Structure 1
């Protein structure tokens, strides 16, 4: 590994990039021995991807064959699987193949997904389905990532140098590790109700600052915008009440309890007569309840119709 004082000039006199990672080739594996254990990964895919995967599975097999990886498409179980063989020489190839079938299951086209086999490419499947519970709010915030006519998504891809695909409850991102980190932060913050435009402004400033070699070893905090949270007062919806018809006359006076008793004759009864009347009412209610209960018991003895 080169020393730290050569980081500003990674190219030596001959113009060779010392930081470039060379491709892992079969001759780099000195032992040339097959793996003692078989490693395999499998992933499910939705039903609507079946016809597309059936068309491009020959290309997937040809792409993984030079790496010594075998792949199987199981249409009955609805899953894709990859595994190592005796011809596998790169230990990291099975991990790259696992990422390939994950991307294919998340509706990434094969010409784009096959780029993950390159050592400089990485991918990240960001799950956004469980962040927002309200379905309407989730759809609205997911649409913010795409933007009007997909403009926000295009700007995000240009600034992070990543491929971004929003599909269902996940977001598939492909690119360098630095770009994946920025893209994940923007997407997660967007689902937490922080608009992507704030992060996009920050990234645009960073791109311009990176062009100035004098600011390479300085802090950029004084140049970056600091946005404060503001609680915007929302207008409460006006509740429209039914208008009552206006009448200049007051409502009619309700009769008193004494007046009602005088009309029914209860006011003129003595205490003994009132007690006798209450006992008679209780007796009648008991008799009705007793008759209803006896009728319910007799239903059990009624024979069914033949």
Structure 2
């Protein structure tokens, strides 16, 4: 009697217990222990593929071809023997066609790795995009992948494209070097493409950085985030946590645009720019339509030939104005500039010569007067003649002839009068 009687379970509790047992049995019905799969296995590790894994080779031949620019021809001819040897080791044939400017790779009977033809395709792509051959041959390794990022079509403005591409490289290549160190990838910017080589995770980061840079997002933001992630990865306590709270969040700032030049000048001068119009309750007058304007000018009644002639005449007049303007601009280049400041050596020498000529003329006049005055009393009525003879003594024959002609003309004029 001292022993307490146990209460019997109810019908509802029994039903619940049966249902739970059925659920458990269904959930683990097909689960069995797998001795080859345990927590110590790295499922992301890339297992090496050897010749013993596929001793029979491939059934069909696969091939890929790509074109290369003319300036790469000389370099490819030099390194092609090394490329051929590297591909021969993995059982892939290659061909360099200088006539068409193309490179071709294909599988052979000795090829055992089915994925190596994709690696060979990436190799010729990298070689055509100016990647050095020693670096491009590393793509044949199992842990190395390649990505060709096209950046030419992301932006239309050529000037902006060049500036943003240079921003990706950075001063002395510092930005590109930081990206390579943080992503463990090789990056080469060439023309309208960016060639990248490295692990899958790094290639994904490189593509995001490159595309965002061309879309006007500076690479330094991504570089900061990558540096923080690298430090967080070293802490095992944060391995399974969300890192969003540690990463920087950059907000877009709407920077006020610069004022136009005219508005800036008016603001500097103290003006208010455009004056506010007075409010009027009446609507503005209706603007004339295109047909109204044609009716006013008379163009509406012209035939197609007349309209064409009128348009050609207007174009010819505009072209003639442009030609005259260009001619004036070309002639302006030949107009000597005004000389300011101290006189040059040439001008000094010219002034000295003019002064010497003046002094010589004055001395000649003095000598002529002295010679004319010393004619003496015996000269009589021939005093003027003596004066002329004294002057002739200091003149050259051409000057004498000129003076005599001038005297003859004067005498003729006097006789006519």
TM-score (norm 1): 0.72
- Structure 1 residues 150 and 2, CA, compared in 2 at 3 Å: closer, same or farther? farther
> What is residue 152 of structure 2 aligned with on the other side?
129
| Cα distance in 1 for residues equivalent to 2:132 and 2:175 | 21
Matched, 1:55 2:55: no
What displacement does 1:19 show? 5.7
| Cα distance in 1 for residues equivalent to 2:154 and 2:46 | 37
Moved beyond 4 Å, runs of 4+: none
> What is residue 261 of structure 2 aligned with on the other side?
238
Residues 147-166 of structure 1 aligned to structure 2 (within 5 Å): 147-166=170-189
- Structure 1 residues 36 and 6, CA, compared in 2 at 3 Å: closer, same or farther? closer
What displacement does 1:233 show? 1.1
User: Gaps spanning 5+ residues in structure 1: where?
Assistant: 11-17, 242-306
* C-alpha RMSD of the superposition: 1.5
What displacement does 1:235 show? 1.3
1:43-93 deviation digits (Å, cap 9, x = unpaired): 000000000000000000000001110000000000000001111111011
What displacement does 1:35 show? 2.4
> What is residue 40 of structure 2 aligned with on the other side?
6
| Cα distance in 2 for residues equivalent to 1:182 and 1:143 | 19
TM-score (norm 2): 0.53
Residues 179-190 of structure 1 aligned to structure 2 (within 5 Å): 179-190=202-213
Q: Please say which structure displays the higher CA radius of gyration.
A: 2
| Cα distance in 2 for residues equivalent to 1:96 and 1:79 | 17
> What is residue 209 of structure 1 aligned with on the other side?
232
Matched, 1:99 2:133: no
Matched, 1:195 2:218: yes
Q: Which has the higher helix share?
A: 2
Q: Secondary structure at the match of 1:124?
A: strand
> What is residue 25 of structure 1 aligned with on the other side?
50
1:184-232 deviation digits (Å, cap 9, x = unpaired): 0010011111000111110010011111111111100100011111121
> What is residue 64 of structure 1 aligned with on the other side?
87
What displacement does 1:2 show? 3.9
User: Gaps spanning 5+ residues in structure 2: where?
Assistant: 1-35, 267-417
- Structure 1 residues 232 and 213, CA, compared in 2 at 3 Å: closer, same or farther? same
| Cα distance in 1 for residues equivalent to 2:72 and 2:159 | 26
Matched, 1:169 2:192: yes
What displacement does 1:144 show? 0.9
What displacement does 1:25 show? 1.4
1:109-162 deviation digits (Å, cap 9, x = unpaired): 011000000010001000000001000000011111100110000000000000
